[in-house]
Amino acid sequence: MFTHLDIDLPEMASRTIDGTRFYPTPSGSLYPSITSVTSHVNRQVFKDWRKRVGEEEANRITRESTTRGTNFHEICQDYLENSLKEDNNYDSLAHYMFLAAKPYIDRINNIHAIEKSLYSDVLGIAGRVDCIAEYDGELAVIDFKTSKSIKPEAWIQQYFVQEVAYACMYYELTQTKVKKLITIMVTPDGEVKVFDKRNKGDYIELLIQYIKQFVHDKLESNGNTN
């Protein structure tokens, strides 16, 4: 049984405007999601990939990846909320991947947030975090990722930027510091890798660059470069 802390966090429903996801905050502001920001900055990589593999194949891979990730997240969330279905009525592949990742997930406890919305007035962003909890006894932003194969660290910089954004949002809302960023990546073959990042300052610098580029490009596309 996982221990949960009673942390008061806002509940915000996202809305999509012109292809960008936004969250309305309790104070009435409308902030872009950190996922939209990171996706925008890395959009050329995905355009090049789609061109290389072809639209039909790219759409197939995207659908497969999205379904796999959604099913895996469902099991992880149920497990961490102490509500795992007794009949294991889950997607078989996602359940296999969960069992492979379970020894690493079991290093989580004292949970602050699962699938909770966060925002920052300082950074002007918002989002929904997978998990904030202690990992091996240290408070962490924890992200669950599925992938066809384990990606090299150099390819997933945006994951760490997104996670440090959640750490910043959480600190602004609760005055609680996150110690590290944890990414648990699992493949359909059952391979698991945990990325443990503690150099948050480096990723905060990158986060600022991401936000600046996002804002600049959006203003430029709207014909306002001032």
3 located within any domain: no
- Tens digits of per-residue pLDDT, 208-225? 999 999 999 887 776 665
Please report how the helices 55-80 and 92-105 are oriented relative to each other, as an axis angle in degrees rounded to 10: 50
pLDDT, residue 57, reads: 81
User: How many domains are contained in the chain?
Assistant: 1
Residue 84 lies in a domain: no
Q: Rounded to 5 degrees, what are φ and ψ at 186?
A: -135, 145
pLDDT at 41: 81
Q: With respect to residue 90, please indicate whether it lies within any of the assigned structural domains.
A: no
Determine, yes or no, domain membership for 174. yes
- The amino acid that residue 10 corresponds to is P
- The whole-number average pLDDT for the span 107-134 is 97
**Is 9 a member of any domain?**
no
Predicted local confidence at residue 53, as pLDDT = 77
Q: Is a pLDDT exceeding 90 seen at residue 2?
A: yes
Contact, 77 vs 85, CB < 8 A?
no
Give the separation between CA 140 and CA 195, rounded to whole angstroms.
Answer: 12
What is residue 33's predicted lDDT score, i.e. its pLDDT?
Answer: 96
Q: What is the DSSP string of 79-123?
A: HHTT---TT--S-HHHHHHHHHHHHHHTTEEEEEEEEEEEEETTT
199 is a domain residue: yes
pLDDT in the model for residue 46:
67
Domain hosting residue 22, numbered range = 15-48+108-220
Q: Are 141 and 164 in contact (CB under 8 A)?
A: yes
pTM of the model: 0.92
Residue 170 has pLDDT above 90, yes or no: yes
Residue 111 contacts residue 133 (beta carbons within 8 Å): yes
User: Does the residue 37 lie in any domain?
Assistant: yes
Lowest mean pLDDT across 13-17, 150-154, 218-222: 218-222
Q: Which of 213, 155, 214 is nearest to 183 (CA)?
A: 155
Task: Give the model confidence (pLDDT) of 42-66 as tens digits.
Answer: 777 767 777 787 888 878 877 888 8
Dihedral pair phi/psi, residue 30, rounded to 5°: -125, 105
Report pLDDT for 220. 72
Residue 58 lies in a domain: no
Q: Which of 201, 158, 166, 200 has the alpha carbon at shortest distance from 180?
A: 200
